[in-house]
């Protein structure tokens, strides 16, 4: 069987695969994209990013939680809803986005090849579909964008009706009355707050002493407080020792001896690079212990014509960065004078309830690096739009240099945090200062106006510290 020849073969149609393929095709390259799943879009559209964020909005809608400050509504289910009600909006959004991805691929004349991909040799990929002949694809450049799969903890039994991972949770048979979430990372925290908003009794168990330790500590502490005010139980510094399935309820025993009985369990214990079935040894590649591929600044693997991008290379494993990584990789592969690097200034968002977003330095990172810093804060309850929408817990926190007032970092907790953070990101990108926030005119009433008052607060704090002879920023 002789292979079909292309300029580029892409493995996987998630954010990295789709955008990498489109980047090359836009500049006239003949591209084949291999996808083993029935639907295009990868985890970003089908099982991860989009579904979980859509379910968050559904939880807010059904619970009435978003009106808590305005109408005094307690978190409780508005009506007796079933799992189909809960999943309906998610299914509609996913269906629409799949169609948009398909249209983008068709517009760029990318050939979609269905099948599970594996290497025959360094330049040849075999696509396998059960019951059909294999198809061989050959290209001088190959992009691995196969994404990731949930990590199932060692020694934990399988029970698809009661024990879920971050993919299978989308196929639960009914909404339970109690849920334990094992793993207090981003996925665990997002799902824990989402299901608690639905009125479900939720216990979140994490092995770290702090919630999401990569966050600015003040923001992480505020998130935990808001979780507990929701009625969500947070247990940190503990690991899971035993899971028993010999009774109607699932029995969990923690390292400290505590036992939990719950209807359902979500294991949010990280994800592994999806590389085990690729036949990497036939290319001369070896994945790391968590299935990740090592790449250089151009996203080349140790085999120069084979590139990798997205979750398959590990941190930061965000859809936004995955797209950019693939675009940079393809520009390098085909010497396209277009995009040479991924910005070093990467925003991060955690879609918990309340939402969190951040970019730049934290107080902790400033202290570790010996950077002098000041802090300015603006609280949503003191903001006109914050009052209107009833968000009484939100915060915009600015970290800046006391020497020249240059912005160093932005940290936001509250409604629309993932949108607002881009205002701060732009200021950081253009090396802006607190004065820029003060000089800008913001619409009124808006949450964006909080940047101005956080800047004023920062200047006030700085003046008081100088008057008192205090050392700024530790």
Strands 306-308 and 141-144: parallel
> What pLDDT, on the 0 to 100 scale, is given for residue 86?
67
Instruction: Name the percent of the chain lying above pLDDT 90.
Output: 75
3-class secondary structure, 380? helix
**How would residue 121 be classed by pLDDT, with cut points 50, 70 and 90?**
very high
Angstrom distance (rounded) from CA 105 to CA 93: 19
Q: Does the pLDDT at position 99 exceed 80?
A: yes
Mean predicted confidence (pLDDT) in 176-197: 94
Q: Do domains 4-150+272-333 and 354-467 have the same CATH topology?
A: no
Domain ranges of the chain: 4-150+272-333, 163-269, 354-467
CA–CA–CA angle 359, 364, 370 (5° rounding): 105
| Helix 417-429 / helix 450-467 crossing angle, nearest 10 deg | 60
DSSP 68-88: HHHH-PPS--SS---HHHHHH
Q: What's the CATH code, domain 4-150+272-333?
A: 3.50.50.60
One of 3.40.50.880, 3.30.390.30, 3.90.1580.10, 3.40.1390.20 is the CATH number of 354-467, namely 3.30.390.30
Contact yes or no for 55/174 (Cβ under 8 A) = no
User: pLDDT tens, 306-320?
Assistant: 999 999 999 888 889
Global pTM value? 0.89
- The answer on pLDDT for 82 being more than 70 is no
Q: How many CB atoms lie within 10 A of CB 187?
A: 24
Segment holding 357, helix H or strand E: strand 356-360
DSSP-assigned states of every residue in 250-315: EEEEETTS-EEEESEEEE---EEES-TTS-GGGTT----TTSPPP--TT-B-SSTTEEE-GGGG-T
Homologous superfamily of 163-269: FAD/NAD(P)-binding domain (3.50.50.60)
> What value does the mean pLDDT of the chain take?
91
Could you count the other beta carbons within 10 Å of the beta carbon of residue 398?
27
Cα radius of gyration rounded to whole Å, the chain: 24
Helix axis angle for 186-197 and 49-63, nearest 10°, is 30
pLDDT for the residue numbered 199: 86
């Amino acid at each position: 069987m002789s292979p079909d020849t292309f300029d580029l073969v892409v493995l996987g149609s998630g954010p990295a695969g789709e955008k990498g393929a489109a980047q090359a095709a836009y500049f006239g390259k003949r591209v084949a994209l291999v996808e083993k799943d029935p639907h295009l879009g990868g985890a970003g559209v089908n099982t991860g990013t989009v579904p979980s964020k859509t379910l968050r909005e559904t939880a807010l809608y059904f619970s009435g939680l978003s009106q808590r400050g305005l109408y005094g509504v307690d978190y409780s289910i508005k009506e007796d809803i079933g799992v189909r009600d809960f999943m309906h909006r998610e299914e509609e959004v996913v269906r629409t986005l799949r169609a948009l991805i398909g249209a983008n691929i068709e517009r760029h004349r990318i050939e979609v090849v269905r099948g599970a991909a594996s290497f025959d040799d360094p330049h040849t990929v075999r696509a396998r579909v059960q019951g059909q002949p294999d198809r061989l694809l050959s290209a001088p450049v190959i992009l691995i964008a196969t994404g990731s799969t949930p990590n199932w903890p060692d020694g934990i039994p399988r029970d698809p009706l009661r024990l879920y991972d971050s993919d299978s949770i989308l196929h639960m048979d009914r909404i339970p009355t109690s849920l334990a979430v094992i793993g207090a990372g981003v996925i665990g925290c997002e799902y824990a707050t989402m299901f608690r908003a639905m009125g479900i009794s939720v216990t979140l168990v994490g092995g770290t002493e702090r919630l999401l330790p990569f966050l600015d500590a003040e923001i992480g502490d505020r998130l935990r407080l808001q979780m507990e005010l929701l009625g969500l139980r947070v247990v940190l510094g503990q690991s899971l020792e035993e899971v028993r399935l010999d009774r109607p309820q699932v029995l969990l025993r923690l390292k400290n001896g505590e036992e939990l009985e719950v209807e359902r369990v979500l294991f949010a214990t990280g994800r592994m690079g999806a590389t085990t079935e690729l036949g990497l040894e036939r290319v001369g590649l070896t994945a790391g212990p968590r299935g990740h591929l090592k790449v250089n600044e151009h996203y080349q693997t140790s085999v120069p014509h084979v590139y990798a991008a997205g979750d398959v290379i590990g941190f930061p494993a965000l859809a936004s960065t995955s797209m950019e990584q693939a675009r940079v990789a393809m520009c390098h592969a085909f010497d396209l004078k277009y995009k040479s690097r991924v910005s070093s200034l990467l925003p991060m968002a955690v879609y918990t309830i309340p939402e969190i977003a951040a970019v730049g330095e934290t107080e902790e990172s400033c202290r570790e690096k010996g950077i002098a810093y000041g802090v300015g804060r603006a609280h949503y309850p003191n903001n006109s739009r914050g009052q209107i929408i009833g968000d009484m817990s939100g915060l915009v926190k600015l970290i800046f240099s006391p020497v020249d007032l240059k912005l160093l970092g932005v940290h936001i907790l509250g409604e629309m945090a993932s949108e607002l953070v881009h205002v701060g990101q732009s200021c950081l990108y253009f090396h802006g200062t607190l004065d820029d926030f003060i000089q800008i005119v913001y619409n009124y009433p808006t949450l964006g106006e909080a940047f101005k008052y956080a800047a004023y607060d920062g200047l006030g704090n700085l003046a008081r510290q100088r008057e008192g002879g205090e050392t700024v920023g530790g």
